[in-house]
Structure 1
Amino acid sequence: MHALGIDVGAPRKGMDLVQLDDAREPVRVVSKVGIDRLGMLIGELQPDVIAIDAPPAWAPNGSSRLTERLLAQCNIHAFNTPSARTGAVHPFYAWMEVGFEVFAVAAARGYPRYRAGAPRGTAMEVFPHGSAAVLAGCLPPRGAKKKPWRERILASQGVPIAELTTADRVDAALCALTGLLALEGKRFAPGDPKEGVIVLPAASLPARPFRAAPAEAHDEATLPLFRECACGDPACHELTRTEFAPGHDAKRKSRLWASARTGVLATEELRRRGWVIPPEMR
């Protein structure tokens, strides 16, 4: 099982590619790849999934997509994808147009755009900053340098970082890791599939917005050991090494049951976690 991560840059900069195997080892690291070489490399590498740090298309209208607005509610802020009317005439968005080409090349090589369901054989949009926050359970400390922080997150996930000598390679590796985790079933893609969705390495969005790690995390050898419990109970202030404080998975399940009776998102999360749905809905 292999995942190819692609960090998209401006047209003259080229792209960085990192392919991880199922042991999370970088089996191929390539920099300064032009769009003209990409199809050949995809054909050579034959990954099980492609994870791309760029949107697949302009927003159909407005100045952002639902996926970006939902991530912003969790305190994960991405560059908003505008409509073509705004984006196509502004030089800042040239890198997005490169991303559109990347998705087109991937599709031509047999990797259609991911929308929902099983990701194998698709090309998905990912966001390294969002993936890093989810994997760390927090945002970086204020003033932290991006590359060292993300390197530590990769290392904590068992990814060797010796070949990841630039920030772009680190981001490509985070993309690939997100793809691997998606193949393993650890994925959530909030938003409207018709617009495009950002895939995160988590079963669901957190109950509360992410917060910055404490300043002393700058000097820690490892990531913060504790994170807020994900049960979603407003009265809960437990810190835990895992997703839930002891017994609080039942609280989360209870809240999902209540939500499932009024909407489908909670039902989907119950099924992803392998928890039964409310009796009256079976």
Structure 2
Amino acid sequence: MKFIGIDVHLRSTVTAVIDEYLNIIEVKNLSLEETVDKVLEYKPQIVSIDAPSGLNTGLMNDENYRAALGRKINGHYNKKVSEYELSRRGINPFPTPDSIEKVRLRNDLSWMEKGLWLYEVLKEKNYILLNQDNYMDNRERGLVEVFPHASFSVLAGQLPFNKNTEEGLNQRYLLLKNTGISNLEDILSNAKKKDKDDFLDSIAAAYTGYLIYKDLGSFVGDVMEGQIGLPDKMIRDSYKRMKK
């Protein structure tokens, strides 16, 4: 069995492949087209993608929907429910716009369109977007939306250090090493310094997909809008910031 994690960038991806024994097979910088070829080569059970699986459908702008969530909500408009669920736990992904035009207007969000393209191409290859309702029946060819920062937060039980610092990189390395993932040292020793955080993110994405497959993961968000997978069957309700 194989599991692939994809960290999406504007013109490329960092793609990690692990097996069911948590051996890292490879981690590479690839073009989007090469990433699709890699999926077709390995035929993984789960492909985990660090990008929104769909646009914001306006649920968090609907006052009736907000009231039905059963908690007092200040703000949190113009984002997906999954992004709200993470942000109320102190984890803040980029809010996903409600139209592709708005994605294209924002230089800092233009990578999202590449992620949406990747989901659509893999769906055409008979991969199915997974959520809390369908994952048990579709685990052999599943797509999972992930947010590696959230995955690391769950693994740590608190918000991790900034990944652009040596402290943050080392923390993420140790969190993955403690899961039993092997070959980490070899993989990172061959990575350029500027790529190490992306390598760790893609491996965390693959590991999250592995746990979803093993029924050891969880999802947040609304099924109708697309959910984010997390590497823990029991979602912790709050996180505390680590003090430097």
Give the counterpart letter for 1:86 in structure 2.
K
Matched, 1:82 2:97: yes
Q: Please name the residue that 2:216 is paired with.
A: 186
Aligned residue for 1:210, secondary structure, equals: coil
Give the counterpart letter for 2:173 in structure 1.
E
TM-score, length of structure 1 as denominator length: 0.70
> Hey, what's the Cα distance between the residues in 2 that align with 1:127 and 1:92?
16
Give the counterpart letter for 1:198 in structure 2.
I
Q: How far apart are residue 106 of structure 1 and its match? A: 1.4
Matched, 1:199 2:229: yes
Q: How far apart are residue 123 of structure 1 and its match? A: 0.7
Give the counterpart letter for 2:3 in structure 1.
A
1:150–1:170 Cα contact (<8 Å) kept: yes
> Hey, what's the Cα distance between the residues in 1 that align with 2:2 and 2:208?
11
1:38–1:105 Cα contact (<8 Å) kept: no
> Hey, what's the Cα distance between the residues in 2 that align with 1:132 and 1:39?
26
2:163–2:197 Cα contact (<8 Å) kept: no
Q: Please name the residue that 1:274 is paired with.
A: none
Q: How far apart are residue 204 of structure 1 and its match? A: 3.1
Q: Please name the residue that 2:49 is paired with.
A: 52
1:113-124 matches, cutoff 5 A: 113-116=129-132, 117-118=135-136, 120=139, 121-124=141-144
Q: Please name the residue that 2:204 is paired with.
A: 174
Q: Please name the residue that 1:157 is paired with.
A: 179
Distance of aligned partners of 1:2 and 1:70 in 2 relative to their CA distance in 1, 3 Å threshold: same
2:163–2:169 Cα contact (<8 Å) kept: no
How well do the aligned residues superpose, as a CA RMSD in angstroms?
1.9
Aligned residue for 1:140, secondary structure, equals: coil
Q: Please name the residue that 2:147 is paired with.
A: 127
Q: Please name the residue that 1:148 is paired with.
A: 170
Q: Please name the residue that 2:125 is paired with.
A: 109
Give the counterpart letter for 2:95 in structure 1.
N
> Hey, what's the Cα distance between the residues in 2 that align with 1:170 and 1:148?
10
Q: How far apart are residue 128 of structure 1 and its match? A: 0.5
Matched, 1:3 2:3: yes
Between structure 1 and structure 2, the one with the greater Rg is 1
Q: How many percent identity over aligned positions?
A: 26
> Hey, what's the Cα distance between the residues in 2 that align with 1:35 and 1:79?
21
> Hey, what's the Cα distance between the residues in 2 that align with 1:10 and 1:204?
33
Q: 1:43 aligns with which of 22, 40, 43?
A: 40
Distance of aligned partners of 1:47 and 1:99 in 2 relative to their CA distance in 1, 3 Å threshold: same
Give the counterpart letter for 2:104 in structure 1.
A
> Hey, what's the Cα distance between the residues in 1 that align with 2:187 and 2:219?
29
1:58-69 matches, cutoff 5 A: 58-61=55-58, 63-69=78-84
Aligned residue for 1:135, secondary structure, equals: helix
Moved over 4 A (4+): 141-144
Q: Deviations over 1:218-242 (max 9, x none)?
A: xxxxxxxxxxxxxxxxxxxxxxxxx
1:58–1:87 Cα contact (<8 Å) kept: no
TM-score, length of structure 2 as denominator length: 0.80
Q: How far apart are residue 17 of structure 1 and its match? A: 0.7
Distance of aligned partners of 1:143 and 1:110 in 2 relative to their CA distance in 1, 3 Å threshold: closer
111-120 or 21-30: which moved more? 111-120
> Hey, what's the Cα distance between the residues in 2 that align with 1:92 and 1:214?
28
Matched, 1:139 2:162: no
Aligned residue for 1:102, secondary structure, equals: helix
> Any gaps of 5 or more consecutive residues in structure 2?
62-77
> Hey, what's the Cα distance between the residues in 1 that align with 2:243 and 2:178?
18
1:3–1:48 Cα contact (<8 Å) kept: yes
Higher relative contact order, chain-length normalized (CA < 8 Å, sep 6+): 2
Aligned residue for 1:79, secondary structure, equals: coil
Distance of aligned partners of 1:214 and 1:93 in 2 relative to their CA distance in 1, 3 Å threshold: closer
